[in-house]
Homo-oligomer: A and B are copies of this chain.
Amino acid sequence: MPPSPARNRRADAQRSRAAILDAAVRLLNANPDAGVEAIATAAGVTRQTVYAHFPSRERLLAAVVDHVTEEAIEAMDAADLDTGPAADALLRLVEAGLRTVWRYPVLLRAIASLPVSPETDHERHAPVADRVGRVIRRGQGTGEFDAGLSAGWLVAVTVKLGHAASEEVEAGGMSYEDATKALRTSLLRVLGTP
């Protein structure tokens, strides 16, 4: 049976949405003021199609943030979180996240200055926090990490240390290598690894 016209239209819509988001990530990372016109051209669609998917610039930017977050989550999931020593898994996880973040410095700097409610920020970090929590509970279960600090607190600390590394690099205070090294040392100390 050939695919129905409705199914074709849905597949088309999904393809153009993905093309718009890819183009938006690329263009906004080169110039945070890139306009809808330029993004439409780069995606090979019309302005109208962009607006059909994202009725406002705010909605487009929110989708861009979700898109980059998904990329970071995929990189984390590719890092074998359930295998080997928990400390190594946690460092792989955090470094996978940072590599994604550091791929889009200009874009993420622009996003960081947008208004965001604590709830939205919390929701965006939830998939990261889930994965960090899984590794931390595994490490506490095997006795690799000191259980004196709660898993919830250690998740918050891990996310904050990741932000600290990212911001130090962005502000020009540290190189990628130094920030990653400082993050590794700090995380292992807080986790109470022997």
What residues of chain A have their CB less than 8 Å away from a CB belonging to chain B?
109, 112-118, 122, 148-150, 152-153, 156-157, 160-161, 163-164, 167-168, 170-171, 173-174, 178-179, 182, 185-186, 189-190, 192
Which of B115, B160, B163, B173 makes the CB contact (< 8 A) with A152? B173
Minimum CB–CB distance from A193 to chain B (whole Å) comes to: 10
Minimum CB–CB distance from A170 to chain B (whole Å) comes to: 7
Secondary structure of the A side of the interface?
Answer: helix
Q: How far is the CA of A153 from the CA of B183 in the complex (A)?
A: 9
Identical subunits present: 2
Nearest to A182 among chain B residues (CB) is: B153
Nearest to A158 among chain B residues (CB) is: B164
Nearest to A152 among chain B residues (CB) is: B173
**Is the Cβ of A157 less than 8 Å from the Cβ of B161?**
yes
Chain B residues lying within 8 Å of A168, measured Cβ to Cβ, are 152-153, 156
Minimum CB–CB distance from A106 to chain B (whole Å) comes to: 12
**Is the Cβ of A164 less than 8 Å from the Cβ of B156?**
yes
Which of B115, B173, B186 makes the CB contact (< 8 A) with A114? B115
Chain B residues lying within 8 Å of A182, measured Cβ to Cβ, are 149-150, 153
Minimum CB–CB distance from A176 to chain B (whole Å) comes to: 14
Nearest to A148 among chain B residues (CB) is: B185
Which of B118, B160, B171 makes the CB contact (< 8 A) with A164? B160
**Is the Cβ of B118 less than 8 Å from the Cβ of A109?**
yes
**Is the Cβ of B164 less than 8 Å from the Cβ of A153?**
yes
Nearest to A113 among chain B residues (CB) is: B117
Q: How far is the CA of A185 from the CA of B154 in the complex (A)?
A: 11
Nearest to A187 among chain B residues (CB) is: B190
Minimum CB–CB distance from A138 to chain B (whole Å) comes to: 20
Chain B residues lying within 8 Å of A150, measured Cβ to Cβ, are 174, 178, 182
Q: Check A122/B171 contact, CB under 8 A, given A149-B185, A182-B153, A189-B189.
A: yes
